[in-house]
C-alpha cells in the first residue's frame, strides 16, 4: 500500500491535486498557508498512512489516487458530526445523513472498506501546537454539536422518560426501535427462515436457510425435546423456534415485545396449520405465568436484559421449568468478563438501544448462582460472521426494494451495522455462546437422568 509518506515531494494525482510528502510536512504547512485543508488534517491524525482515498468538499484529497476504496466528505455538516462525536458515532452520523459517501463498496455491504479501516488506519494524537492549529483550521463553528439524524435514538440519559433502564416500558421501546422496522424489510434481509439470530453452518458451502434450520435442530436436540413436551421460547422473534418445535409434536409457547413480530408469527402459525401446538404472544417474558415447562429456550434475548438483571432473569426462567427441565441460552458475548457491558456509540444510538454484553463466564456464574446446573457451553463466533455475510448479501440483492420500504438512511444503518458486526465476530471482538443448563432434580430416578456425555450432534 503506497502511503502519503512514500510519495515524492510535489507529486500530483490525475486530477491535478498536489500532495505534501508527509504528515510532518503537512503539519508545517500552516506556517505558509495559514490553515490546514481537511485532507491534511486527516493525514496528520492518521500519521500520514491512509489505506484508502479521501476527498473533501474543500477540494483537498489524500491517500493513494488509485485506491479501490474511498471516502468522500461532502458537506460542512459532515465535518461537524465528525468533530463533535466520539468514536464511530460521528462517522455513522455523517454517513447516515448523507454528508459522507463511501466508494468501492455497496452500501448494503461495506465490509471491505470497514476491514481496510480496521486493519490499516491508526489515529495518533498530535502535539498541542498542531492540535490547536487543527482546531483553528476546522473552525470553532464545527465544534458545536448539532442535531443528529432522525434515525438516531436519544442518549441514555434522555431515555429516562421511557422508564428506568430495563424496566418493562423502556425495554418495550428499545425493542420497538430495532425490531418494528418492517416485516417486509426483514423478509428481504433474513430470507425465508425469518430468523434474526446466529445460524449454525453444517458446512462452509451451506446456504443461510440450511444453517438456520440446523441451528434450530441443534437447540431442539440440546433441549432433548420430544412429542408431547412443553417448550417456552422467550424473545421468540418471528416464531422460528416455536414452529420448528411444533412441527415435531412439541407444544410451544413464544413471547416477544415486538408487535410486528407477533403479527407475522401468528400468521405463519396459521398458514402452517399449527395453532393446536404453537402460540406466540405479544408481551414481556416476565408476564408468563405458566410453569412446569420441559424446556426453555432463550435465543438472542439476553443482550437486551441488562447484566444487573441476569440474576432475576435466570431465577425466573428456572421457576418456569419443571425439575429436571433444560434451559438453552444463546446470546452475543464479549471475549472477557471485565469490559463495561453497555454498548456505546453507533450501536447504542442506531441499532440496539440499552444493549449490554458481557463474557460467557459471567453468564455461567449468574446461571449457577440462580440454582441452575450448567451442563455445556460452546462458542459459535465464526458461524455468526458467516450469518452476517449472508444477511448483507441479501440486503445487496434487495437493495432497491429495501430503500423503497424503509428509506435510504435506515437501509444504510443496516448495511453498516451488519458489515461491522461481521468484522467484529471474525476478529473475536464479540462472540456467540450457547449455554445449556438444567434445573436440578434431586429426586429423579436413574432412568430420568441425563446421558453421560452430550447427546446431540454438532
Between 4-8, 142-146, 239-243, 426-430, the lowest mean confidence (pLDDT) is in 4-8
Nearest CA among 411, 351, 401, 349 for reference residue 107: 411
**Do 186 and 233 share a domain, yes or no?**
yes
Residue 204 in any domain: the answer is yes
Q: Which helix (H) or strand (E) holds 409?
A: helix 408-427
Give the end of a domain, one of 94, 127, 143.
Answer: 143
- Which domain CATH number covers 330? 3.40.50.150
Instruction: State the CB neighbour count (10 A cutoff) for residue 362.
Output: 18
Asked if 254 and 281 touch (Cβ cutoff 8 Å), the reply is yes
The last residue of one of the domains, among 128, 143, 158, is: 143
Tally of helices (H runs) and strands (E runs) in the chain: 18, 11
d(CA 237, CA 178): 12
What's the pLDDT score for residue 33?
A: 57
- The SS3 assignment for 385 reads helix
Alpha-carbon distances, residue 78 vs 86, 113, 134, 142, 145 (angstroms): 14, 19, 16, 9, 11
pLDDT of residue 4: 29
Per-residue confidence (pLDDT) for residue 256, from 0 to 100: 96
pLDDT of 68 reads 97
Asked if residue 9 has pLDDT above 60, the reply is no
Is the pLDDT assigned to residue 166 strictly greater than 60? Answer: no
Contact 454, 376 (CB under 8 A): yes
Q: Is residue 296 part of a domain?
A: yes
- Show the domain range for 130: 4-143
| Number of folded domains that form the chain | 2
Parallel, antiparallel, or unpaired: how do β-strands 70-73 and 100-103 relate?
antiparallel
Pair (138, 204) in one structural domain? no
Beta strands in 63-214 (DSSP E): 70-73, 100-103
With CA atoms as reference, report the closest residue to 357 among 342, 345, 379. 342
Report the predicted TM-score, pTM, of the whole model to 2 decimal places: 0.88
Residue 92 has pLDDT above 90, yes or no: yes
Cβ atoms 280, 255 nearer than 8 A: yes
The model's pLDDT over 169-205, given as tens digits with 9 standing for 90+, comes to 545 454 444 455 789 999 999 999 999 999 999 999 9
Q: Mean pLDDT across the chain, nearest whole number? A: 89
In whole angstroms, how far apart are CA 126 and each of 12, 20, 41, 135?
26, 17, 10, 12
**Residue 156: per-residue pLDDT:** 67
Q: Dump pLDDT digits (tens) for 389-415.
A: 999 999 999 999 999 999 999 999 999
Last residue of a domain, one of 127, 143, 159: 143
Over 70: is that where the pLDDT of 160 sits? Answer: no
173 & 122 share domain = no
Same domain, 194 and 134: no
Long-range contacts of 32-40 (CB under 8 A, 24+ apart): 35/133, 35/136, 35/137, 36/133, 36/134, 36/137, 37/137, 38/73, 38/79, 38/138, 40/137
Alpha helices in 285-357 (DSSP H): 310-320, 345-346
Residues 73, 46: contact at Cβ < 8 Å?
Answer: no
| pLDDT at position 120 | 75
Q: Are strands 293-299 and 278-282 parallel, antiparallel or unpaired?
A: unpaired
- pLDDT range class, residue 2, cuts 50, 70, 90: very low
Only one residue has cell 425469518, namely 194
Q: What pLDDT shows up at residue 247? A: 98
Each residue's pLDDT tens digit, 265-274: 999 999 999 9
Q: Which residues pair with 101 in a beta bridge?
A: 72
Does 162 fall in a domain? Answer: no
Residue 457 in domain: no
Amino acid at each position: 500500500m503506497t502511503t502519503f509518506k512514500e510519495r515524492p515531494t510535489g507529486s500530483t494525482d490525475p486530477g491535478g491535486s498536489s500532495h505534501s510528502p508527509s504528515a510532518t510536512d503537512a503539519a508545517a504547512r500552516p506556517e505558509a498557508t495559514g490553515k490546514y485543508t481537511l485532507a491534511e488534517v486527516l493525514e496528520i491524525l492518521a500519521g500520514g498512512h491512509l489505506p484508502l482515498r479521501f476527498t473533501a468538499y474543500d477540494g483537498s484529497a489524500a491517500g493513494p489516487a488509485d485506491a479501490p476504496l474511498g471516502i468522500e466528505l461532502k458537506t460542512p455538516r459532515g465535518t461537524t458530526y465528525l468533530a463533535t462525536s466520539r468514536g464511530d458515532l460521528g462517522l455513522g452520523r455523517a454517513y447516515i445523513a448523507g454528508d459522507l459517501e463511501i466508494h468501492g463498496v455497496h452500501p448494503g455491504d461495506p465490509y471491505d472498506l470497514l476491514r481496510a479501516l480496521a486493519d490499516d488506519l491508526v489515529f495518533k494524537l498530535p502535539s498541542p501546537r498542531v492540535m490547536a492549529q487543527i482546531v483553528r483550521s476546522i473552525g470553532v463553528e464545527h465544534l458545536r454539536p448539532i442535531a443528529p439524524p432522525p434515525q438516531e435514538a436519544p442518549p441514555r440519559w434522555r431515555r429516562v422518560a421511557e422508564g428506568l433502564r430495563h424496566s418493562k416500558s423502556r425495554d418495550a421501546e428499545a425493542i420497538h426501535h430495532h425490531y418494528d422496522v418492517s416485516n417486509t424489510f426483514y423478509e428481504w434481509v433474513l430470507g425465508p427462515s425469518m430468523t434474526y439470530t446466529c445460524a449454525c453452518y453444517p458446512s462452509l458451502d451451506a446456504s443461510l436457510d440450511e444453517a438456520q434450520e440446523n441451528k434450530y435442530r441443534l437447540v431442539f436436540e440440546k433441549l432433548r425435546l420430544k412429542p408431547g413436551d412443553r417448550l417456552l421460547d422467550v424473545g421468540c422473534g418471528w416464531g422460528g423456534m416455536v414452529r420448528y418445535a411444533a412441527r415435531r409434536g412439541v407444544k410451544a409457547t413464544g413471547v416477544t415485545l415486538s408487535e410486528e413480530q407477533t403479527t407475522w408469527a401468528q400468521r405463519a402459525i396459521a398458514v402452517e396449520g399449527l395453532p393446536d401446538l404453537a402460540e406466540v404472544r405479544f408481551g414481556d417474558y416476565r408476564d408468563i405465568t405458566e410453569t412446569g415447562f420441559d424446556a426453555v429456550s432463550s435465543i438472542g434475548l439476553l443482550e437486551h436484559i441488562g447484566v444487573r438483571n441476569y440474576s432475576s432473569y435466570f431465577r425466573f426462567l428456572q421457576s418456569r421449568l419443571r425439575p429436571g427441565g433444560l434451559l438453552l441460552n444463546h446470546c452475543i458475548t464479549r471475549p472477557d468478563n471485565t469490559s463495561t457491558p453497555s454498548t456505546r456509540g453507533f450501536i447504542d444510538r442506531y441499532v440496539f438501544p440499552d444493549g449490554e454484553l458481557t463474557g460467557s463466564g459471567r453468564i455461567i456464574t449468574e446461571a449457577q448462582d440462580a440454582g441452575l446446573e450448567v451442563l455445556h457451553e460452546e462458542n459459535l463466533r465464526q458461524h455468526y460472521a458467516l450469518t452476517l455475510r449472508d444477511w448483507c448479501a441479501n440486503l445487496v440483492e434487495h437493495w432497491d426494494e429495501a430503500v423503497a420500504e424503509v428509506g435510504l438512511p435506515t437501509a444504510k444503518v443496516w448495511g453498516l451495522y451488519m458489515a461491522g458486526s461481521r468484522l467484529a465476530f471474525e476478529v473475536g471482538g464479540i462472540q456467540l455462546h450457547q449455554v445449556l443448563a438444567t434445573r436440578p432434580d434431586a429426586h429423579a430416578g436413574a432412568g430420568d437422568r441425563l446421558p453421560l456425555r452430550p447427546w446431540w450432534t454438532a
